[in-house]
């Protein structure tokens, strides 16, 4: 049977439409969630992501501010802006687009963000909370989006072997943490494989759920996938395509055409995990606003 394509765009639209309703209820209480997005430098892909985040805020009625700092901004410039945003009552969530230019110490910037406003869940306090299963912090947007995609597609990870390809702080490590939690929608057995793993295909072939987040175009090929696996592609890679108007095309970490016939469920790139990352950011911004105003979280 051909794989069911998990439509990330449609699931993200359902998440954001529920959020729009929550935002309108908050506005009736004279509250408006506010998100500040900080971009340092002019990386073209980061500019696209940041603009999409701001546009989505507008659609949902979330107040947003875009702060653009020059490529040669200093640590002092960035920390001064973070201080200002930490103290601003209109702003409930702060996101600094990653990666920043090399002179910026990203860890120090993340540590300076008020954990209550850390809607990326990059701050050590929130990462720790997530790891020990607490729900009064945040979950990081991309892994959270993957969990939501599975939940909305009727895929229960409980007891399944989930293999995560990649060990980044943004995706691989928190993905592992969310999947192993003792709670509804998780309870998986998790293996994390990475660039130094021996016999990587042998391990990926054991995955009932295979999550590719290694940042290498079309890295996962059909021979690395178990028959009937759920395949989630987190990668977004720009590869040269001289015949196209933009000169590049987007592809994931999975060789879709050859893997899809083996999978039970699969996501596409674009239109899979990407839209969910933004939807979950919006959910975190609304949650941040509610927590800062002592409103019960449903």
State the catalytic residues. Answer: 53, 97, 120
Q: Rounded to whole angstroms, how far apart are CA atoms 77 and 252?
A: 35
Can residue 85 be called a binding residue for ligand GUN (CB under 6 A)? no
Q: By rule CB under 6 A, what string of x and - marks binding of each residue 154-183 to ligand GUN?
A: ----------------x-------------
CB-based contacts of 74-77 (< 8 A; 24+ apart in sequence): 74/103, 75/103, 75/104, 75/105, 75/108, 75/109
Stretch that binds ligand GUN, among 17-25, 95-103, 147-155, 198-206 (CB under 6 A): 95-103
Measured distance CA(113)–CA(35) in Å, rounded = 13
Q: Tell me if 284 contacts ligand GUN by CB under 6 A.
A: no
Q: How far apart are CA 234 and CA 149, in angstroms?
A: 12
206: helix, strand or coil: coil
Helix ranges (DSSP H) in the chain: 8-28, 44-60, 75-87, 106-112, 124-131, 141-152, 172-180, 200-204, 256-259, 273-292
Residue 266 or 278 having the CB closest to ligand GUN: 278
Instruction: State yes or no: residue 253 binds ligand GUN (CB under 6 A).
Output: no
Residue closer to ligand GUN (CB basis): 64 or 142: 142
Q: How far is the CB of 98 from ligand GUN (least distance, A)?
A: 4
- Give the residue with the Cβ less far from ligand GUN, 225 or 279: 279
Report how far apart, in Å, the C-alpha atoms of 26 and of each of 19, 22, 30, 65, 295 are.
10, 6, 7, 19, 10
- Check residue 126 for interaction with ligand GUN (CB under 6 A): no
Interface mask (CB under 6 A) for ligand GUN, residues 213-252, using x and -?
----------------------------------------
Query: Helix/strand/coil (H, E, C) string of 230-245?
Result: EEEECCCEEEECCCCC
Q: CB nearest ligand GUN: which residue?
A: 98
Q: Shortest Cβ distance from residue 116 to ligand GUN (Å)?
A: 17
Q: How far apart are CA 280 and CA 12, in angstroms?
A: 8
DSSP-assigned beta bridge partners for residue 209: 162, 230
Which of 40, 141, 231, 263 is in the footprint of ligand GUN by CB under 6 A?
141
Interface residue with ligand GUN, options 16, 56, 64, 97 (CB under 6 A): 97
Residue 120 makes contact with ligand GUN by CB under 6 A: yes
Closer of 119 and 230 to ligand GUN (Cβ) = 119
* Two structure tokens written together for 51: 């603009």
Stretch that binds ligand GUN, among 8-16, 64-72, 90-98, 145-153 (CB under 6 A): 90-98
When binding is defined by CB under 6 A, the residue of 95, 149, 203, 220 that contacts ligand GUN is: 95
Contacts of ligand GUN in 10-49 (CB under 6 A): none
Does residue 211 bind ligand GUN (CB under 6 A)? Answer: no
Question: Which residue, 224, 223, 202, 228, is CA-closest to 212?
Answer: 224
Does 270 sit behind a cis peptide bond, omega within 30 degrees of 0 on the bond before it? yes
Binding residues vs ligand GUN (CB under 6 A): 95-98, 120, 141-142, 170, 277
């Amino acid at each position: 049977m051909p794989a069911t394509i998990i439509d990330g765009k449609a699931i993200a639209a359902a998440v954001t439409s529920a959020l729009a309703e929550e935002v309108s209820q908050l506005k009736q209480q004279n509250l408006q969630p506010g998100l500040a997005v900080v971009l340092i430098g002019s990386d073209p892909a980061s500019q696209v992501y940041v603009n999409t985040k701001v546009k989505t805020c507008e659609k949902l009625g979330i107040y947003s501010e875009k702060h653009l700092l020059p490529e040669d901004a200093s640590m002092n410039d960035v920390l001064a802006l973070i201080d200002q945003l930490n103290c601003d009552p209109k702003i409930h969530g702060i996101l600094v687009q990653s990666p920043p230019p090399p002179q910026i110490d990203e860890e120090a910037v993340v540590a300076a963000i008020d954990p209550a406003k850390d809607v990326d869940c990059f701050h050590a306090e929130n990462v720790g909370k997530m790891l020990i299963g607490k729900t009064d912090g945040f979950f990081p947007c991309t892994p959270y989006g993957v969990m939501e995609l599975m939940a909305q597609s009727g895929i229960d990870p409980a007891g399944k072997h989930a293999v995560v390809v990649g060990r980044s702080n943004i995706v691989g490590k928190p993905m592992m943490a969310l999947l192993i939690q003792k709670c509804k929608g998780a309870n998986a057995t998790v293996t994390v494989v990475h660039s130094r793993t021996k016999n990587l295909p042998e391990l990926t072939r054991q995955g009932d759920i295979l999550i590719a987040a290694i940042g290498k175009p079309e890295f996962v090929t059909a021979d690395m996938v178990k028959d009937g696996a759920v395949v989630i592609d987190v990668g977004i890679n720009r590869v040269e395509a001289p015949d196209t108007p933009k000169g590049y095309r987007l592809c994931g970490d999975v060789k879709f055409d050859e893997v899809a016939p083996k999978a039970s469920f699969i996501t596409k790139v674009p239109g899979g995990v990407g839209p969910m990352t933004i939807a979950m950011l919006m959910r975190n911004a609304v949650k941040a606003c509610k927590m800062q105003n002592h409103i019960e979280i449903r």
